[in-house]
Amino acid sequence: MTPPPFVLDAHVDSLLRSVDLGHDLGLEGPGHLDLVRGRRGGLGAVVLTAWCEPAYIDPADPGAFVAPAPAWDPPADLAAPPSPDVAPDPDPAPGIGGAFHRTRRLVEAGRSLCARHPDLASLATTAAHLAAARRPGAPTAVLLGIEGGHAIESSLAKLEAFHALGVRLMTLVWNNHLPWIRSCRPVPDDLGFEPPAGLSDFGRGVVECMGELGMVVDLSHAGDAAVDDALATSNRPLLASHSGCRALHDHPRNLTDDQLRRLADAGGCVGIVFHGAFLDAGAQAASEAIYASADYRAIGTEPGSELEQSGAARWLAKCAFHQREAEPFGLDLVADHVLHAIDVAGEQAVGLGSDFDGIPRTPADLRSAEDYPRLAERLLERGLTARQVDGVMGGNLARLFAEVLGAG
């Protein structure tokens, strides 16, 4: 049997299950991804992303104001070794401790995973760590990421604190706008402040600081003007970790052909997402029909039930319902976007960013991390060479990360 290609997945949301539900990602279990199934699927490296729900933003958070945060001294324990213990967050309800502390809890869960399962996971912070992951039998290289700049609470000191914890990627913005960056979503009338058209001066400072630290700037979720500003500001390759091609499906989360070309010209990559709603209008319509159904909306509404009390458990239940009830879509939709991105941006500018455990359903043949080889086989069937497939599955992103992270 041919071994699966080396896979680097640029965006996975499984840390939320680890923190809120106590799922050990070093054991085979529920959800889309754990390192056991990942190893069977050729997962050599993965960005485990800390996504903090915007509801954790404290009303007094400096992110609520246009001015940068005051100076902040990182606590002494930031450099402490990760704890080997794993347990659900004792109080995963929004509103506790602010976005920085919630995100730090998620980041520490990723560090803890590597400490508990050194045979399966190794914290990767340098190019050398990624090179080591290519060796036969090596543990999966875990790259820690943050999804949403609200985690740094408008403080470069807090960005540096996350870097000290081993974070090597940050998605500049999620679907919520910030005083220093506009997302790809419409601006609500009651936002309370006017976000910049793209990046503010502070936002450009974030991009510059990330370049100096050796952190990958992730453009997924950013508005078009913010993408333009980041490309103009950075002197490092940039990444859109989990997006699709707008030419195939006109969705604001996708990149235009011009953006794909400019990203490639700067040495960057796009990680093609597995989320049907970003890939195809029909798949998006099927998902919207599920969201509107009474049975879906009733999940987790029974007072006092486990699902009513746990947002993470409720999300998993809704995903299971969605996967079961929505009309299936095939992995050719993913392949379509891979091939289009290669045609527009070149074969070295395309990788994968599944968004596993952050999407409500997956392609029918890409249900979990052990299924990556099925996509590789389909790309070969669609006309890519073995060398091109190796680049898409992981080689191209490994090159980008190695260039940005450096020797350490």
Q: How confident is the model at residue 58 (pLDDT cuts 50, 70, 90)?
A: confident
b (16+ CB within 10 A) / e for 279-298: bbeebbebbeebeeeeebee
The burial of 407, by beta-carbon neighbours within 10 Å (0-12 exposed, 13-18 middle, 19 or more buried), is given as exposed
Q: How does strand 121-123 pair with strand 350-352? A: unpaired
Q: Which two tokens stand for residue 95?
A: 């509103």
Count of domains for the chain: 1
Q: What pLDDT, in 10s, does the model give residues 88-105?
A: 444 444 444 589 999 999
Mean pLDDT across the chain:
90
Look at residue 142 and tell me whether its pLDDT is greater than 60.
yes
Residue 403 has pLDDT above 50, yes or no: yes
Q: Report DSSP state, residue 253.
A: T
Please report which confidence band the pLDDT of residue 389 belongs to, taking 50, 70 and 90 as the band edges.
Answer: very high
Q: What is the pLDDT of residue 2?
A: 64
Q: Residues 33-48: pLDDT tens digits? A: 999 999 999 999 999 9
**Residue 123 belongs to some domain of the structure:** yes
Q: What is the pLDDT of residue 190?
A: 85
| Residue 113 structural domain | 7-280+329-405
Contacts by 277-282 with C-beta closer than 8 Å and gap 24+?
277/251, 278/243, 278/244, 278/249, 278/251, 278/253, 278/254, 279/244, 279/248, 279/249, 279/329, 279/333, 279/334, 279/336, 279/337, 280/248, 280/249, 280/329, 280/333, 281/249, 282/327, 282/329
Decide if 295 is inside a domain. Answer: no
Residue 62: predicted pLDDT: 53
Percent of the chain with pLDDT over 70: 90
- CA pseudo-torsion sign 285, 287, 291, 293: positive
Q: In the chain, pLDDT over 90 holds for what percent of residues?
A: 81
Query: pLDDT at position 177, please?
Result: 94
Q: Is the dihedral of CA 249, 383, 355, 221 positive or negative?
A: negative
Cβ–Cβ < 8 Å for 176, 54? yes
Question: Is 317 contained in some domain?
Answer: no
Of the pLDDT bands very low, low, confident and very high (cuts 50, 70, 90), residue 78 is very low
Residue 207: pLDDT band with limits 50, 70, 90: very high
Residue 176 in any domain: the answer is yes
Cα gap 394→377, rounded to integer Å: 14
Amino acid 192: pLDDT: 84
Lowest mean pLDDT among 71-75, 76-80, 226-230: 71-75
- What is d(CA 16, CA 92) in angstroms, rounded to the nearest whole number? 10
- What pLDDT is attached to residue 303? 85
At 91 the pLDDT is: 43
| Spatial separation of the C-alpha atoms in residues 330 and 146, rounded to whole Å | 29
CATH of residue 97: 3.20.20.140
Tally Cβ neighbours within 10 Å of residue 52.
24
Angle at 246 between CA 7 and CA 353, to 5 degrees: 15
- Strands (DSSP E) contained in 65-158 are 121-123, 140-147
DSSP 199-216: B-HHHHHHHHHHHHHT-E
**Does any domain span residue 203?**
yes
What average pLDDT score do residues 131-154 get?
Answer: 96
Q: Is the pLDDT of residue 77 over 90?
A: no
Residue 84 placed within a domain: yes
Residue 326 has a pLDDT of 92
**Any domain includes 324:** no
**More confident: 338 or 64:** 338
- Please, are residues 117 and 26 in contact by the beta-carbon 8 Å criterion? yes
Which pLDDT belongs to residue 408? 65
End-to-end CA distance of the chain: 37
Q: Residue 130 above 60 pLDDT? A: yes
Residue 333 has pLDDT above 50, yes or no: yes
Residue 8 is classified by DSSP as E
Element (H, E) at 12: strand 7-12
Half-sphere exposure for 5 (CA within 13 Å, toward CB): 27
Identify the pLDDT of residue 63: 58
Residue type, 61: D
What pLDDT score does 85 carry?
44
User: Is residue 288 domain-resident?
Assistant: no
Alpha carbon distance 250, 244 (integer Å): 10
